[in-house]
């Protein structure tokens, strides 16, 4: 199920070792997260703690902490007496079901959020959308993994401001964004999504609930269509 646009050339791969900072566990998490999102660690493949210790030049403890956090996000699976592996790639059926769910819930939630936004909430959404930091950094893989998280935060903020915790929890429980972004590593996924985030923000800034509903629906439909080639 590999798409020809997926770029996995060796020259683009991270060099590995972690630069020690105040939060070593956080840095290790970011390094492994990036590898998972850019498909350097393939879906379903085994993740060996000892290999990561050597590659990242850290001890076992931050590796295990990071893997535990990634397990909570649905990106890593731990099996008793076996160890860790990357979560398998979602199936076409699961993909279709996730997008059906999103189209049922998110456009209406966006309309509800738009009707109740104040300046502080709008500013929070503008920061979360990723459009203000567009194009920053030279490492395309890092930008891709960062945007995957940013996109999840943006959509979660909209659900928060729509004030329906059941919908928010339902979407979070599916780990929707991380699984979808792992389907294809390609710059088009982020660039076109950022254009659509800007359209959603414009509707929010205008306080236009109908425009927010439409912009969100278009965004989700386009996201679905961008990633469908991964199943060819």
The rounded average pLDDT for each run of 10 residues, N- to C-terminus, in the chain (232 residues) is: 41 46 80 90 94 94 94 92 92 94 96 94 92 64 82 94 94 82 80 93 96 98 93 88
- pLDDT (0 to 100) of residue 17: 52
Interior/surface letters 190-218, b for 16+ CB within 10 angstroms, e for the rest: beebbebbebbbebbeeebbebbbbbbbe
Reference 39, options 220, 156, 202, 183; nearest CA is: 183
- pLDDT (0 to 100) of residue 134: 61
Rounded Cα–Cα distance for residues 137 and 177 (Å): 22
Q: What is residue 71's DSSP assignment? A: H
- pLDDT (0 to 100) of residue 138: 62
Structural domains of the chain, ranges and CATH numbers in brackets? 10-86 (1.10.10.10), 92-231 (1.20.120.530)
- pLDDT (0 to 100) of residue 186: 75
Predicted TM-score (pTM) of the model is 0.80
The answer to whether the CB of 77 falls within 8 A of the CB of 84 is yes
Reference 86, options 222, 207, 182, 21; nearest CA is: 182
């Amino acid at each position: 199920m590999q798409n020809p646009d997926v770029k996995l050339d060796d020259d683009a791969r991270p060099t590995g070792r972690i630069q020690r900072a105040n939060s070593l566990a956080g840095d290790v998490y970011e390094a492994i997260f990036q590898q998972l999102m850019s498909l350097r660690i393939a879906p379903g493949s085994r993740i060996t703690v000892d290999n990561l210790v050597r590659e990242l030049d850290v001890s076992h403890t931050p590796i295990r902490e990071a893997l535990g956090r990634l397990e909570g996000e649905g990106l890593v699976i731990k099996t008793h007496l076996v160890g860790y592996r990357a979560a398998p790639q979602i199936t076409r059926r699961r993909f279709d079901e996730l997008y059906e769910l999103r189209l049922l819930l998110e456009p209406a939630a966006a309309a509800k959020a738009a009707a109740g936004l104040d300046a502080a909430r709008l500013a929070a959404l503008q920061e979360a959308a990723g459009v203000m930091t567009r194009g920053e950094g030279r490492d395309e893989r890092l930008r891709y993994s960062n945007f995957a998280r940013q996109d999840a935060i943006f959509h979660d903020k909209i659900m928060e401001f729509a004030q329906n915790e059941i919908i928010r929890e339902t979407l979070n429980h599916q780990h929707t964004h991380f699984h979808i972004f792992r389907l294809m590593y390609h710059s088009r996924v982020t660039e076109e999504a950022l254009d659509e985030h800007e359209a959603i923000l414009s509707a929010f800034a205008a306080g236009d609930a109908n425009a927010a509903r439409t912009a969100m629906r278009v965004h989700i439909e386009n996201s679905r269509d961008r990633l469908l080639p991964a199943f060819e």
